[in-house]
């Protein structure tokens, strides 16, 4: 959806309950905003409010584009769809023998490099990457915000086959951007596998739902995500962002077949 004018969004706007709840949230004519505030506080507060931020280069100057979307792709665990092609990988000898594993919060830098190589025109700029690195060392107790990296790896050489970057806030998880290996035929459908395994990992840890952001990409619906209007999304979001998952995500832990066999 396009809009005629994009307004500047400040941290004061976000922290003003009257402005946020009475004007920004209800006004579905506006979904995209801009900001030149690259501070950790602005990013965390906007994410906590339900905005998902990308960035844009305008005449040589980069700005953030926080978006309170008109519709969101939301995956509830009961709606997860595991395709026949992914089932085939899960049932393969290689997967059962732990030839692959999922690593959480392994290396943000490596994941950013993979995404940048995969998406040549990706919005994940050097400035945005620098912000992610700064956010990655923050343990924000006020908003319980945490950057999360997800990597599906080959056990033989620790090669990253597919992965993504997102963030957890309370009992919610939000995707930002990701990648998968589309060069090797050996890894066909491993991007879809990574999504399924991440969903099961989040469900196991007690996260309430997965916010996949824009609903316009077909793979999200095929995964089982439902297109959710802003107001319905906000009801779910506001109810879960201050709650806690039952288990914390463990950094560098290898989630392999032994972990997933009871969940899949």
pLDDT of amino acid 58: 87
How much is the mean pLDDT over the chain? 93
pLDDT of amino acid 2: 61
Residue 126 in tokens: 């050097």
Could you tell me which residues are beta bridge partners of residue 152?
A: 102, 162
Q: Is the pTM of this model over 0.85?
A: yes
For residue 240, the surrounding DSSP H or E stretch is: helix 230-240
Q: Rounded to whole angstroms, how far apart are CA atoms 17 and 28?
A: 17
Whether pLDDT at 14 is above 80: yes
Of 80, 112, 71, 119, the C-alpha closest to 198 is 80
For residue 103, the surrounding DSSP H or E stretch is: strand 100-104
Q: Rounded to whole angstroms, how far apart are CA atoms 148 and 201?
A: 12
Q: What is the mean pLDDT of residues 5-34?
A: 96
pLDDT digits (tens, 9 = 90+) for 31-84: 999 999 999 999 999 999 999 999 998 888 899 999 999 999 999 999 999 999
Band (100; pLDDT cuts 50, 70, 90): very high
pLDDT digits (tens, 9 = 90+) for 147-195: 999 999 999 888 899 999 999 999 999 999 999 987 778 888 999 999 9
pLDDT digits (tens, 9 = 90+) for 199-210: 999 999 999 999
Q: Rounded to whole angstroms, how far apart are CA atoms 190 and 243?
A: 32
* Percent of the chain whose pLDDT exceeds 90: 77
Band (140; pLDDT cuts 50, 70, 90): low
Q: What is the DSSP string of 175-203?
A: EEEEEE--S-GGGTTHHHHHHHHHHHHHH
Helices (H) and strands (E) in the chain, counts: 11, 12
Q: Rounded to whole angstroms, how far apart are CA atoms 225 and 76?
A: 7
């Amino acid at each position: 959806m396009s809009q005629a004018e994009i307004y500047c969004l400040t941290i004061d706007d976000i922290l003003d309950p009257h402005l946020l709840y009475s004007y920004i949230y209800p006004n579905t004519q506006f979904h995209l905003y801009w900001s030149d505030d690259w501070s950790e506080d602005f990013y965390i507060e906007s994410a906590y409010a339900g905005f998902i931020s990308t960035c844009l280069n305008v005449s040589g100057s980069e700005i953030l584009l926080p978006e309170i979307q008109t519709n969101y792709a939301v995956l509830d665990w009961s709606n997860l769809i595991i395709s026949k092609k992914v089932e085939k990988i899960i049932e393969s000898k290689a997967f059962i023998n732990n030839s692959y594993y999922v690593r959480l919060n392994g290396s943000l830098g490596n994941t950013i490099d993979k995404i940048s190589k995969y998406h040549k025109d990706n919005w994940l700029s050097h400035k945005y990457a620098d912000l992610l690195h700064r956010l990655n060392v923050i343990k924000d107790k006020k908003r319980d915000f945490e950057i999360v990296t997800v990597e599906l790896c080959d056990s033989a050489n620790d090669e990253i086959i597919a992965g993504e970057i997102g963030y957890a806030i309370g009992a919610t998880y939000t995707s930002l951007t990701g990648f998968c290996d589309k060069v090797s035929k050996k890894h066909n459908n491993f991007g879809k596998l990574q999504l399924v395994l991440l969903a099961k990992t989040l469900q196991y840890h007690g996260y309430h739902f997965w916010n996949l952001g824009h609903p316009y990409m077909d793979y999200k619906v095929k995964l089982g995500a439902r297109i959710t209007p802003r107001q319905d999304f906000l009801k779910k979001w506001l109810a879960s962002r201050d709650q806690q998952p039952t288990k914390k995500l463990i950094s560098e832990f290898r989630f392999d077949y032994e972990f997933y066999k009871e969940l899949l």
